[in-house]
Structure 1
Amino acid sequence: MDTEVEIKFFVSRKAGEKLPELLKNYQICTQNEHDLQNVYFDTSERLLKKRGIGLRVRSHDGKNEQTIKLRGSVVGGLHQRPEYNEPIAGIQPELARFKGDIWPEDLSLSEIQQALIPIFSNDFTRQTWVIDINGEGLVEVAFDLGEIHSKGQTEKICEIELELLKGHEGLLFQLGQDIATLPGARLVNVSKAQRGFALASGVTSPPVNLSFVPIASTDTVFAGLQQVFSFALQHWQYHEHLYLQHQMPALSNMRDGVHLMHQGLLLFSPYIPKELRVTWLADLNWLSSKLKCIDRYYALSTLTADKGNYIKKLEKIKPLRQQLKAELKTLPHYKQMKRLFTSERYCKLVLNISAWLVGLSKMTPPTDHPSMAEFAKQALDNSWQELQSSPLVQASELSSSQYIALQGLLSRNLMVGLCLGGDSEPQKRDNFRFPWLDILQGMTELKLLKPIYDYLETEQDEEAQEKILKWLKRKEGSLLLAMDQSRQQALTHPVYW
């Protein structure tokens, strides 16, 4: 058995052209090029995939090799998987050639063998260089260019993989800093196999709302902080990938992962080992500033979507829709966001967070930390006291602007719950959180009205002004009434921790 340890980058074709020149800065031990044909097998019910088992047959240079990859781990962008390889004569897998102890006991190999079918294939040219990193270890650099095929559908492959052959994982991230300077480089946590199965299924993965971090109250604080940061980066990278596949709503979900990363730093800063410095905070703040446009973009997109159904009663005021659409065009669009997510600074940010997480996972857990249960209770108490002392709880009535001004505070409070409340009693927890989530949604809807208020300042027609203002006040009044009712309901529920 081998354990594959690697990091992966999606890159542009131009990056492949520049890669040989970049690698001249290192001692190149060997260099090769192969055309690889790969077929991935499973049953029609995906019995192997459900067990975290990948089965591939690779053909190159007149030889065939079957490979089993077991479910490993992904920390940030670092992939680690047990891998078993066996030469075979043909291109049909022969499961009996693998050692029996790698299979789950309740899996019938003979039944699986009979039911195996090809699911997808990928064919690519692989250029490889084995390089010596300053005498500390060896890394294989692979540039893959080709396609994934399934059911008449194709998806491009243009990737650089860095696989550790000898030495410590830090060498991958060290070399990764140079790879990040190549055009279009983006650190990813999705494999060719995952992309192939997705293509074969014909089903596009949907965006998912940020959920509770799976931390048990019996965990240590050190384990909890690792879980929060890993969870945040996974959510972030998953939705970055969806957005770049043209799923536009995923951008907001991606930002939630970035915000969770910030919240983790605020919550756990006293327990982050001093020797593991957070050198990437300034770049995280830079990214957050770049994503601030999302709320305005969402508001303008909603107001102008579906022929302006949201503002249907104002449809006769054509300059309103024209101005909203004109402003929408000035905001960062897909191509600009793609340039951001394939920029050197962004790639190095994700790379540095991943390296930091790997360093964290290698450290010996401190023995002087409080229990997770004790830490969670204190942190939730502190967050709740901050919310209780705010106008969101104290005031009998709040205006639109007051609600919107308190959105950040409420968002942070609810995110503390996502970090630390996963092991609480679900019914009690949900009863407490739901009214506050309704208020947060109301704050988002109030922001939809802001571009129309802004338009009022430019409207010269008094009749149109009056009509728009009347519509705005009705919408706003309805939202404020519902939010005040939710506030009253929220304050009747006891805390869940």
Structure 2
Amino acid sequence: MECEIKLAVDAASTAQLRKSPVLREHAVSKPQDQEHVDRYFDTAGFDLWKHGYALRVRSAGEHHVQTLKGGGSAVAGLHRRTELEAEIATETPDADLFGKQLRDALPDLAHHLDGQQLAAEPVFVNHAKRTSWMLALPDGTHVECALDVGELRHGERTAQVRELELEVKDGDPACLYELARRLHETMPVRIENVSKAERGYALATEDKAHAVKAAPVTVKRKATLGDALGVILQNCLQQMQANEGGVLAGDVESLHQMRVGLRRLRAAQAMVRTLVQLPEPLAADIEWLAGELGDARNWDVFLESVLPGLPLAEEHKPALARVEAAAREEAERHRARVRSAVGSPRYTTLMLALGGWIAGKGWQHTTLPADPLEQRIAKAAPKLVQHAAARVRKRARGYDLKRPDCLHKVRIAAKKERYAREFFVALSHDRTATRRHDLLAGMQDELGEINDAFVARTLVAELRDRVPQEAGLLGFIEGVLAERALDAMPRARRHVKGRLRDRARF
């Protein structure tokens, strides 16, 4: 199993890396340069890639190595993948070796590819110069440090490659985060969650970054609560980082899904807040990112959902167009802030710190004689879900449900309960629990309409300074939003009083 952190570097940093004090102090070998050509092969229909694997032949002079790699995961730059390699005679794949690799190590993949032939021409090619040397860390961990500078090519389309790989050869992979963090303090680096294979196939298919929803969480019944927490947090972090490319490209839905991933992560941490506390700097950076994403998302909802549904006469359309233009400018300004945030050193610091905290199991207790995080998740999960449901009931009983802000707090509690149920869905098959989940999802949408109207009114107020000549239309919009919230309030209160107060099963 290959385990490495990838860091993207800029042109200036590539020259500095060999002289970096952070790397030189641990170096136990001199940097070695080697030029190589990587050719990636697949079937005509890219069947291998569709199942999450890539076949590469790396050629350096007359030396050729065939590698089949894939599966695994990439979290905060830490890539864990199956890697099967062997020397071959030519720069084209050895079909017999490929078949044996599949049969011996990946029988399911072999079954899916049964009868499929590899295409004669590579899907794409990577021409690169690699500088590599070995590091020995104080704890005895050995790390191969490799700087790749090159170019991916498919036909006339190309993409530059400048990345540093820190691969654990023996030892704890969690130490890579601290090494990457120290390096990040001295020069601009960015976590690279996308492999060269992913970038090459994107060239070949002209695939653009797109929104990625949360993958199902798979928690084993015999896992401890601590182990399950690690799986859940990794899942949330993966969703966030899978949407980075889309966010940087300006995709609205990618921004929404990154925000969902962050909210799920915060919900997971809140679920065990009596047992686990994030380090203060980490918690502060999470709040910072949540604020940036939330502000941008509010404007997107205003443009996508609020303005299109206004009951306006034809003569008011020109005024609405001017209001919409001003709103789009505000939305783009906030999206630009998000792009700047995601591309910033602070974001990289956050991702490295969060990835290191998860990989190093920073929630482990060392002073408690009976660590509650060591209990079986099959026993702990029902209690966590029931506790989340109890918070919903408490808010439903204790708040003034005639106030939108109080209903919003009920909605937040309901959302956290829904996330908790989704985290542990693999452990529960109860139909009552399924109905409860569906109820929470519906309630979240209904209460969300009231909250969206409430937030939209604050945005309308901000637009008064941008388009003061449209004060009349803005006043009308505020009135429509207020009426919508007023109409929805009694229905929402009935739902909260009649259903969310009920005791919930897991």
TM-score for the superposition, normalised by structure 2: 0.81
What are structure 1's unaligned runs of at least 5 residues?
Answer: none
Is the CA contact (8 Å cut-off) linking 1:428 and 1:496 kept in structure 2? no
In structure 2, distance between residues paired with 1:362 and 1:431: 31
What secondary structure is seen at the aligned counterpart in 1 of 2:110?
coil
What secondary structure is seen at the aligned counterpart in 2 of 1:215?
coil
Q: Cα distance, 1:8 vs. partner?
A: 0.7
Q: Cα distance, 1:386 vs. partner?
A: 2.0
Is the CA contact (8 Å cut-off) linking 2:219 and 2:231 kept in structure 1? yes
Is the CA contact (8 Å cut-off) linking 1:213 and 1:227 kept in structure 2? yes
Aligned match of 2:360: 359
Aligned match of 2:440: 433
In structure 2, distance between residues paired with 1:175 and 1:489: 52
In structure 1, distance between residues paired with 2:109 and 2:158: 35
Is the CA contact (8 Å cut-off) linking 2:127 and 2:150 kept in structure 1? yes
Residues 348-497 of structure 1 aligned to structure 2 (within 5 Å): 348-360=349-361, 369-390=374-395, 395=400, 397-399=402-404, 401-404=405-408, 408-421=412-425, 423-425=428-430, 427-442=434-449, 443-455=451-463, 465=471, 467-482=473-488, 484-489=490-495, 491-492=498-499, 495-497=504-506
In structure 1, distance between residues paired with 2:155 and 2:175: 39
Q: Cα distance, 1:144 vs. partner?
A: 1.7
Does structure 1 residue 101 correspond to structure 2 residue 104? yes
Is the CA contact (8 Å cut-off) linking 1:94 and 1:113 kept in structure 2? no
AA partner of residue 65 (structure 2): E
What secondary structure is seen at the aligned counterpart in 1 of 2:71?
coil
What secondary structure is seen at the aligned counterpart in 1 of 2:179?
helix
Q: Cα distance, 1:483 vs. partner?
A: 5.6
Shifted more, 125-134 versus 99-108: the winner is 99-108
Does structure 1 residue 132 correspond to structure 2 residue 140? no
Is the CA contact (8 Å cut-off) linking 1:240 and 1:254 kept in structure 2? yes
Is the CA contact (8 Å cut-off) linking 2:141 and 2:169 kept in structure 1? yes
Q: Deviations over 1:91-135 (max 9, x none)?
A: 220132365623527837894446565222222222223233348
Is the CA contact (8 Å cut-off) linking 1:10 and 1:187 kept in structure 2? yes
Is the CA contact (8 Å cut-off) linking 1:128 and 1:140 kept in structure 2? yes
Q: Deviations over 1:219-261 (max 9, x none)?
A: 4323321221111111111122331243243223223222322
Over 3 Å counting, the alpha-carbon distance change for 1:405 and 1:104 in structure 2 is closer
Task: Kindly report the root-mean-square deviation, in angstroms, between the aligned alpha carbons of the 2 structures.
Answer: 3.8
What are structure 2's unaligned runs of at least 5 residues?
Answer: none
Residues 93-492 of structure 1 aligned to structure 2 (within 5 Å): 93-97=93-97, 99=100, 101-104=104-107, 107=110, 111-113=115-117, 118-134=122-138, 136-181=140-185, 183-204=187-208, 206-210=210-214, 213-215=217-219, 219-269=223-273, 278-279=278-279, 281-301=280-300, 303=302, 309=308, 315-317=317-319, 320=323, 324=327, 327-328=330-331, 331-334=333-336, 336-360=337-361, 369-390=374-395, 395=400, 397-399=402-404, 401-404=405-408, 408-421=412-425, 423-425=428-430, 427-442=434-449, 443-455=451-463, 465=471, 467-482=473-488, 484-489=490-495, 491-492=498-499
Over 3 Å counting, the alpha-carbon distance change for 1:444 and 1:34 in structure 2 is farther
What secondary structure is seen at the aligned counterpart in 2 of 1:129?
strand
In structure 1, distance between residues paired with 2:148 and 2:27: 21
Is the CA contact (8 Å cut-off) linking 2:237 and 2:262 kept in structure 1? yes
Over 3 Å counting, the alpha-carbon distance change for 1:121 and 1:480 in structure 2 is farther
What secondary structure is seen at the aligned counterpart in 2 of 1:71?
strand
AA partner of residue 11 (structure 1): V
AA partner of residue 229 (structure 1): L
Over 3 Å counting, the alpha-carbon distance change for 1:104 and 1:394 in structure 2 is same
Over 3 Å counting, the alpha-carbon distance change for 1:167 and 1:77 in structure 2 is same
Q: Deviations over 1:135-166 (max 9, x none)?
A: 83432222222222235433332211111234
Q: Cα distance, 1:338 vs. partner?
A: 4.1
Is the CA contact (8 Å cut-off) linking 1:34 and 1:61 kept in structure 2? no
Q: What is the count of residue pairs matched by the alignment?
A: 484
Identity %: 21
Over 3 Å counting, the alpha-carbon distance change for 1:326 and 1:174 in structure 2 is closer
TM-score for the superposition, normalised by structure 1: 0.82
In structure 1, distance between residues paired with 2:343 and 2:308: 35
In structure 1, distance between residues paired with 2:329 and 2:75: 42
In structure 2, distance between residues paired with 1:133 and 1:217: 36
What secondary structure is seen at the aligned counterpart in 2 of 1:136?
coil
Is the CA contact (8 Å cut-off) linking 1:35 and 1:126 kept in structure 2? yes
What secondary structure is seen at the aligned counterpart in 2 of 1:156?
strand
What secondary structure is seen at the aligned counterpart in 1 of 2:93?
coil
In structure 1, distance between residues paired with 2:44 and 2:364: 42
Aligned match of 2:68: 68
In structure 1, distance between residues paired with 2:132 and 2:24: 13
Aligned match of 1:79: 79
In structure 2, distance between residues paired with 1:110 and 1:287: 46
In structure 2, distance between residues paired with 1:245 and 1:124: 26
AA partner of residue 258 (structure 2): M
